[in-house]
Amino acid sequence: MRKKKNNLFYRHLIVGFITVILTLPFWFGRLDWDPEMRFWRVVGDSSFLLLFFTMVIGPLAKMWPSAGKLVPWRRETGIWFGLMAFLHTFLIWRGWARWDVWRFLGYEYIPELDRLARLEPGFGLSNIIGMAAVLLTLALVATSSNWAVNRLGASAWKWLQYGAYSVFYLVVLHAVYFLFLHYTLSFHRRVPDNPNWFRYPFLILSLLVPLLQTAAFIKTVRQRQPASRPKTIRRNRSGA
């Protein structure tokens, strides 16, 4: 038992260190950004890389048995994705929305109109999608333990963990808006002069997940099919 706890500690320590390393290209690759905005984007983008790794481990292991060595790390990468996603959400609420639900939904008070007005079409919907992904992720993180498996039962636990696919596609929808459509002058931050360099790598990684899953599915189906049709037994002329 103590050895398992030590292994768990070291695995989290290693994944935590890798998480810090993942943030460096995003931080130093956007030095012209507003520091606060850069920080929450660094956290969000690095969390996506952890989610990508978590999602592709299974398909890779089915396609290449040698990749099965990575499967035991899937729980730790999923947990660290959840922690980074939660931190990203917290930073957005504190730094941009300032704990104002209307601002979080894309509404601003316009003195000339003396009322709230929506300045960013799609902003509120994208944030709602992001919040749904975070809440579902927290449920997955809370049940990412052997205790939860024993408590819920293997079948119920697996059914719950399938929610990771929903999280992935919700995250993709959320990120596509902010990578390609947002950051206009109404954002109350200095708008970066150059487009976000992570846009197209993000699209490639997002497409790789369903492609790998489809390839792994096809390979699994082919392996379950019989190698050859059963041979028919021919009777001789005597009927024997």
On whether the CB atoms of residues 78 and 141 are closer than 8 A, the answer is yes
Rounded to the nearest angstrom, the gap between the alpha carbon of residue 147 and the centroid of all alpha carbons in its chain is: 24
User: What percent of the chain is predicted at pLDDT more than 70?
Assistant: 87
| Tokens linked to 112 | 């000339």
| Residue whose entry in the numeric block shows the structure tokens 């890779």 | 60
* Residue 175, in any domain of the structure: yes
Q: What is the pLDDT of residue 159?
A: 86
* Residue 237, in any domain of the structure: no
Q: DSSP assignment, residue 166? A: H
On whether the CB atoms of residues 189 and 37 are closer than 8 A, the answer is yes
Domain count, the chain: 1
* Residue 212, in any domain of the structure: yes
* Residue 111, in any domain of the structure: no
Domain that holds residue 78: 2-104+116-224
Q: What is the mean pLDDT of the chain?
A: 86
Q: What is the pLDDT of residue 176?
A: 92
* Residue 233, in any domain of the structure: no
* Residue 70, in any domain of the structure: yes
Q: DSSP assignment, residue 74? A: H
On whether the CB atoms of residues 80 and 50 are closer than 8 A, the answer is yes
pLDDT digits (tens, 9 = 90+) for 160-212: 888 899 999 999 999 999 888 776 555 555 556 667 889 999 999 999 999 99
pLDDT digits (tens, 9 = 90+) for 143-157: 988 888 888 888 888
